[in-house]
């Protein structure tokens, strides 16, 4: 991810000087929000994949078994 030192150096360029504890809390927040954003990206990617799969099912490229048909329904 990003180290406290890197974060401190970056923020100092903006004239923001913070304590180590403050930097640590900002680091945690950034990781949390970045994970949310990354998860959203992954979800959309999977949705696209599923959408493609559904199209394949609709046009009959893939034939589901009886049990899977029920699950899909």
Partner 1 sequence: MKNVIGYFRVSTDEQAQQGYSLDYQEETIKRFCDFRGYKIADSYREDCSGKDFERPQWKKIESKIKSLKGTSDSIDSIVILRHDRFARNLLLSFLEKAKFLKLGCEIEFVEGQIDETNPEALLLQAISYALPEIENKKISKRSKEGSHKARLSGCHTGIAPKGYVNSRLGKDSTLSFSKDSELIRESFEKMASGLYSADEVRRWLNSKGVKLCKNTFLNMIRNITYTGKIHVKPFLGDPSQIVIGLHPALISDEVFATANDVLDGRRKKMKFHDDKSDLYPLKGHLICPVHGRTLSAYGSKGRNNIYHYYVCTKNKCPRYPIDWAHKEVERILSNIQFSAQTIKSYKVVLEKLFSIEDVERKNTLLRIEGEIKRLQTQKQFIQGQYMDGLLPSSEYQELKNSIDVKLFENQRNFKDLSEVLTPYNEYLTNHVPMFEDLVSFYQKSNGKIKKKILSCIFSKKLYFENGKAAAPSFTQPIEILINASKVLENSKNKKEVISDLLFTLAPLLDKSCSWNSIIQYTIIRKLRS
Binding site for partner 1 (CB under 8 A): 1-2, 6-7, 10-11, 13-16, 18, 22, 25-26, 28-41, 70, 73
Based on CB atoms, which residue is closest to partner 1, 16 or 62?
16
| Full 3-state SS string of the chain | CCCHHHHHHHHHHCCCCCCHHHHHHHHHHHHHHHHHHHHHHHHHHHHHHHHHHHHHHHCCCCCCCHHHHHHHC
Nearer CB in complex with partner 1: 32/55: 32
Q: Which is nearer to partner 1, 37 or 55 (CB)?
A: 37
């Amino acid at each position: 991810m990003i180290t406290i030192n890197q974060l401190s150096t970056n923020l100092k360029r903006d004239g923001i000087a913070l304590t180590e504890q403050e930097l640590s809390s900002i680091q945690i927040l950034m990781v949390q929000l970045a994970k949310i954003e990354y998860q959203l990206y992954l979800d959309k990617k999977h949705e696209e994949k599923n959408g493609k799969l559904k199209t394949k099912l609709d046009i009959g490229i893939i034939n589901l078994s009886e049990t899977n048909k029920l699950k899909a329904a």
